[in-house]
Amino acid sequence: MNDEKLIQELTLKAQQWLGEGYDEETKAQVKAMIEADDKTELIESFYKDLEFGTGGLRGIMGPGSNRMNIYTVGAATQGLANYINEAFKELPERKVIVGHDVRNNSRLFAETVANIFSANGIKVYLFEGPRPTPEVSYGIRLLGCQSGVNITASHNPKEYNGYKAYWDDGAQVVSPHDVNIISYVNKIKDVSEIKFDGNPDLIEIVGKELDDKYIEDIYKLSLSPEVNARHSDLKIVYTPIHGVGRYIIPRSIERWGFKNIIHVPEQDVMSGDFPTVESPNPENAPTMQMAIDKATETQADIALASDPDADRISVVFKNNKGKYELVNGNQIQIIFHYYLLTRNRELGNLKGDEYIVKTIVTSETIKRMADKLGVKMFDCYTGFKWIATVMREMEGKGRYLGGGEESYGFLPETFARDKDAVSSIPLMCEIAAWAKDKGMTMNEMLIDLYLNYGYSKERGISVVRKGKSGAEEIVAMMKNFRENPQKEIAGSPVVTIKDFQKLEELDVKTGKVTKLEMPTTSNVLQYYTEDGTKVSIRPSGTEPKIKFYIEVHDKLESAEQYDAKNDWAEAKIDTICQDLGIAD
């Protein structure tokens, strides 16, 4: 399709947004797009409809079918409401909980969602103000809701917002409800079908009482309260990065017995503009710089952050050279699992039915730990809905210890079913206290576990490709990696290729193909080499990027070798990046 024909089609599509049912501000903005000489904004806003995927919606805010606004949010909610009323028609009352983060327009979108649900006869619990994403999951289970929605774009840049939909178990929706909801959402073809006028009698505001119960349930997860008491003066730097963790996470830390919380005042300001950072993603070192500076200034034991909706965490502690350093997402997972496995063993709590969960792109060191201690480990796809699926299937069959993914998300409890910084951050504080109680720093504890379970180094790389052309380029990149697979990586032959889109595992040497046992297909490709290197490749489901996950392994003979081993691993990963043709 040539550009002229595309612009003609999109102009006709945009003109529908000038009709009845749309507010005057939206009409004026759409009219300006249509009349502008540069049609870039028109194309980007209307070249497709913002898709309601299996996790909900996420996109740049603004007018248009490919943007987050009250109309795309409204259509999603109307479709979801229709499905809830059908799926739970036998219930005398159907209930949902609605939350939101601090982003611009989040309150507007949350109130829009609440109004639409109530207009469809559904009881709504609406949070009084910004709350963590995991608290919405918790509220669904606590209040007996059939569904829930949180308005958030997690750690995306400030231009974005999103819509996360949950089901009655507190987890994001999976089959068959995911495809059914998408079908119902896609049936909403006109703005006139959306019931925007809410019923105030069906909307109940919730807040403090639910917060208090949540914090108390989180405190019950503590495995070492006596250790925490001995180290109540542990120096803890915490920043919410302008997000919803500002009030609830310090309360949660204090409930675990820690009194010395050091704030980053500039980042305590709750703001959807995220004024002190370019991007509010705690995975990025520049985002964590103010916390690192505060830790250096105060000589803190540990520095921690939550992302804007308080589901992901970031961790900083001193390295061997005494410099505060951002810990990568895989190391966070390794530390959590190491503590939970080791501490439960110390307490005599490992009875043989325990299990942990990780995603397929997360470090294999976790499996080594679980195997050595006789604890079952499940591998699942990226996304906490898959971890929650394992938890649901294992109810009554085993005891969940914890689960997480390398993208800085961990869940140590069963009363919520999404990654949770409100519980993970005090748990990480407890781990720091436990290590200190044993005469170790966090870095020394990390080295010790590598000595016991084998050394690994991981690096995640995201290649960003924005807009329509970028999306097409990402598709082409995945196609090329499948059709022209790597024969060797950093000098080591590729011995296994796993393609989760085909659900096939190829033994490169023999040519034997076996079926991968997974609940569904996923656009993920993995290479395994003879020397234990693992490379995973997948497009992001929420951002315009393709992700590469690189993991190398070796033995660590002594603590003195640690820095040299890190240098070796970084150099090897650089070589792997060159072999894959990607820039870090």
Does residue 33 form part of some domain? Answer: no
Provide DSSP, 145-175. Answer: -SEEEEE--TTS-TTEEEEEEEETTSSBP-T
Average pLDDT value for residue range 549-577? 96
Q: How many CB atoms lie within 10 A of CB 420?
A: 32
At 265 the pLDDT is: 98
Q: Where are any strands of DSSP class E within 353-427? A: 354-359, 376-380, 399-405, 409-411
pLDDT band per the 50, 70, 90 thresholds, residue 575: very high
Q: Into how many domains does the chain fold? A: 3
Residue 470 has pLDDT above 90, yes or no: no
Q: What number of residues does the chain have?
A: 584
pLDDT band per the 50, 70, 90 thresholds, residue 542: low
At 223 the pLDDT is: 98
Active site residue 154: yes
Domain hosting residue 437, numbered range: 214-453
Residue percentage of the chain with pLDDT more than 70: 99
Does residue 21 form part of some domain? Answer: no
Cα radius of gyration (the chain):
24
Residue percentage of the chain with pLDDT more than 90: 92
CATH number, domain containing residue 140: 3.40.120.10
**Residue with token string 């994403």:** 133
CB 151 within 8 A of CB 99: yes
Does residue 29 form part of some domain? Answer: no
Residue 164 has pLDDT above 70, yes or no: yes
Among residues 415, 411, 414, which one has the least CA distance to residue 210? 415
Residue 183 has pLDDT above 70, yes or no: yes
Q: Name the token pair of 203.
A: 């909307």
CATH number, domain containing residue 471: 3.30.310
Residue after which a domain boundary falls, among 426, 453, 480: 453
**Residue with token string 């006709």:** 12
At 2 the pLDDT is: 59
CB 72 within 8 A of CB 65: yes
Provide DSSP, 68-107. Answer: BSHHHHHHHHHHHHHHHHHHTTTSS--EEEEEE-SSTTHH
- Share the mean pLDDT of the chain: 95
Residue after which a domain boundary falls, among 164, 183, 206: 206
CB 76 within 8 A of CB 147: no
At 138 the pLDDT is: 98
Residue 469 has pLDDT above 90, yes or no: no
On whether both 381 and 236 belong to a single domain, the answer is: yes
On whether both 142 and 179 belong to a single domain, the answer is: yes
Residue after which a domain boundary falls, among 190, 206, 222: 206
Least confident of 213-227, 292-306, 508-522, 540-554: 540-554
Residue 439 has pLDDT above 90, yes or no: yes
Least confident of 317-331, 486-500, 530-544: 530-544
On whether both 514 and 552 belong to a single domain, the answer is: yes
Average pLDDT value for residue range 62-81? 97
Annotated catalytic residue within 137, 154, 306, 456:
154
On whether both 416 and 518 belong to a single domain, the answer is: no
Sequence letter at residue 152? T
Q: Name the token pair of 35.
A: 């009349």
Beta bridge partners of 462: 547
On whether both 235 and 384 belong to a single domain, the answer is: yes
Does residue 60 form part of some domain? Answer: yes
pLDDT band per the 50, 70, 90 thresholds, residue 584: low
Q: Name the token pair of 560.
A: 């003195």
On whether both 422 and 518 belong to a single domain, the answer is: no
pLDDT digits (tens, 9 = 90+) for 475-498: 999 999 999 999 999 999 999 999
Residue 583 has pLDDT above 80, yes or no: no
pLDDT digits (tens, 9 = 90+) for 195-209: 999 999 999 999 999
On whether both 144 and 251 belong to a single domain, the answer is: no
On whether both 418 and 528 belong to a single domain, the answer is: no
Among residues 109, 104, 44, 107, which one has the least CA distance to residue 72? 109
Question: Residue 107 and residue 165: Cα distance in Å, rounded?
Answer: 16
Q: Where are any strands of DSSP class E within 236-341? A: 236-239, 261-263, 302-306, 313-318, 324-326
Element (H, E) at 478: helix 467-483
CB 96 within 8 A of CB 146: yes
> Dihedral of CA 366/371/377/380: which sign?
positive
Provide DSSP, 412-450. Answer: --SSS-S--HHHHHHHHHHHHHHHHHTT--HHHHHHHHH
Does residue 38 form part of some domain? Answer: no
Does residue 200 form part of some domain? Answer: yes
The DSSP bridge pattern shows strands 399-405 and 354-359 to be: parallel
At 316 the pLDDT is: 98
At 471 the pLDDT is: 85
pLDDT band per the 50, 70, 90 thresholds, residue 273: very high
Does residue 557 form part of some domain? Answer: yes
Q: Name the token pair of 522.
A: 């996923």
On whether both 105 and 137 belong to a single domain, the answer is: yes
On whether both 439 and 370 belong to a single domain, the answer is: yes
Query: What burial letters (b/e) apply to 447-458, b meaning 16+ CB within 10 Å?
Result: bbbbbebbbbbb
On whether both 390 and 510 belong to a single domain, the answer is: no
Residue 1 has pLDDT above 70, yes or no: no
Residue 404 has pLDDT above 60, yes or no: yes
Q: Is 394 helix (H, G, I), strand (E, B) or coil?
A: helix
Average pLDDT value for residue range 285-310? 97
pLDDT digits (tens, 9 = 90+) for 19-62: 999 999 999 999 999 999 999 999 999 999 998 876 789 999 99
Tell me the HSE value of 326 on the side-chain side, using a 13 A CA sphere. 20
Does residue 8 form part of some domain? Answer: no
On whether both 471 and 386 belong to a single domain, the answer is: no
Residue 319 has pLDDT above 60, yes or no: yes
pTM above 0.85, yes or no: yes
At 468 the pLDDT is: 77
